[in-house]
Amino acid sequence: MGGRRLYVVEAEGLVKRFAKVVAVDGLSLSIREGEVFGLLGPNGAGKTTTIRLLLGLTHPTEGRLRVCGHDPTREPQAVRRCVGYVGQEIAVDPYLTARENLMVFAGLYHLRGDERRRRIEEVLELVGLAERADDVVRTFSGGMKKRLDIACGLLHRPRLLFLDEPTLGLDVETRRRVWDFVKDLAGQGMTVLLTTHYLEEADRLCDRVAIIDRGKLQAVGRPQELKDGLGGDVLRLRLAEEAPLSAAVEALQRLPCVTTVQPVDGVLTARVQSGESALPQVMDALARAGIGVAAVSWSRPTLDDVFLAHTGRRLEAHGV
């Protein structure tokens, strides 16, 4: 290798300001050809707006943007020809058959004649719907609808596929099938940009993850890199009821083995070098301060710990 990697998406200092909010605030990103890139953040972080900017469906207030070598503001059609877009909602016509839906989308990508027929068979096969192709979509399960939805975005063999919250509202089983499917696509060399607020999804699926919050890029890297970057272990403590949270934070901060302590929703998260050696010291310190502990656990850092370290908040509700 050694040659320069090709960037399919390049964004520099991207800003999107609406009347009352700054949805995207100085975002810079580069997405390489062939990688699965995740935008991870809570609802309202600016993920969907970022995708709309990349597609030229809305225009940046400031910043420079290139998608497949084109400026989405000036050449939206050129961008849309090389990008497949699958939105959050399942956007297929429930009153048409799977094949009819694909025929409509094939028309929108200007596919004609034999080529159109071939591509439709191809994607039906790919998403495993060939046998149900002539059934009305209304009779499909949620997972089948989602697969058809993705198939509609693949008809024109895009270089780049945008998946906006691809597993939102799907059950666990279906979610796993969608993940496998996305991995297959990536294995065939397609570049995938997905947004998600599921940590597991980002962790399992993405080669690289950008953590965004309030429109700002907080961190970017391989999931493992980001987690390793925090170093050590993460200790989670739920205090006994009525125990003073602030006193507990103070007690822990005095310990040399504790790097940081953050209270979120009644759970104390402490970063330590080693959970095993820190735990007795932590319990001892709390006992001496007269603070009861209801539950405790420790693990290697998760992506949520990375999110917490950068934003002071958590993405998912946690027990201990």
Partner 1 sequence: MGSDFYVEVGAFLRRWYWRLRREPVSIFAALAQPVLWLFLFGNLFRRAGVAATAGGDYLAFMTAGVVVMTIVNAALAGGIEVMFDREQGLLARLLAAPIRPASVLVGRFLFVVIVTSLQAGVILAMARLMGVRPATGLPGVAGVLAIGVLLGAGVAVLSLSLAFRLRTHGEFFELIAFISLPLLFLSSALVPLEAMPGWMAAVARLNPMTYAIDAVRSLMLRGWATGLLAGVAGVLVLFDAVCLAIGVRTFSRALRD
Q: How is residue 157 written in tokens?
A: 């063999």
Using the rule CB under 8 A, give the single segment among 27-35, 100-108, 221-229, 293-301 that binds partner 1.
100-108
User: Which of 15, 22, 96, 255 forms a contact with partner 1 (CB under 8 A)?
Assistant: 96
User: Do the Cβ atoms of 198 and 42 come closer than 8 Å?
Assistant: no
Rounded-to-10 torsion of CA 137, 143, 144, 148: 90
Interface characters, 51-70, with partner 1 (x: CB under 8 A): ----x-xxx-----------
Whole-angstrom Cα distance, residue 286 to residue 291? 5
Applying the rule CB under 8 A, the residues between 241 and 280 that interact with partner 1 are: none
The DSSP annotation for 10-64 comes to EEEEEEEE-SS-EEEEEEEEEEETT-EEEEE--TTSSHHHHHHHHTTSS--SEEE
Q: Which of 98, 106, 150, 219 binds partner 1 (CB under 8 A)?
A: 106
How near is the Cβ of 182 to partner 1 at its closest, in Å?
A: 18
What count of other Cβ atoms lies within 10 Å of the Cβ of residue 274?
12
In DSSP terms, which residues pair with 216 in a beta bridge?
A: 213
Compute the least distance from the CB of residue 104 to partner 1, in Å: 5
87 in contact with partner 1 (CB under 8 A): yes
93 binds partner 1 (CB under 8 A): yes
3-state helix, strand, coil in the chain (%, to 5): 40, 30, 35
Site residues for partner 1, 140-199, by CB under 8 A, read 152
DSSP 254: T
Residues 107-126 that bind partner 1 (CB under 8 A): 107-110, 112
Nearest CA among 62, 37, 301 for reference residue 195: 37
Please say which residue, 76 or 263, places its beta carbon nearer to partner 1: 76
Select from 17, 81, 117, 132 the one that contacts partner 1 (CB under 8 A): 81
Contact stretch for partner 1 (CB under 8 A) within 60-68, 81-89, 209-217, 255-263: 81-89
| Residues contributing to the site for partner 1 (CB under 8 A) | 55, 57-59, 76-78, 80-81, 83, 85-93, 95-96, 100, 103-110, 112, 136, 152
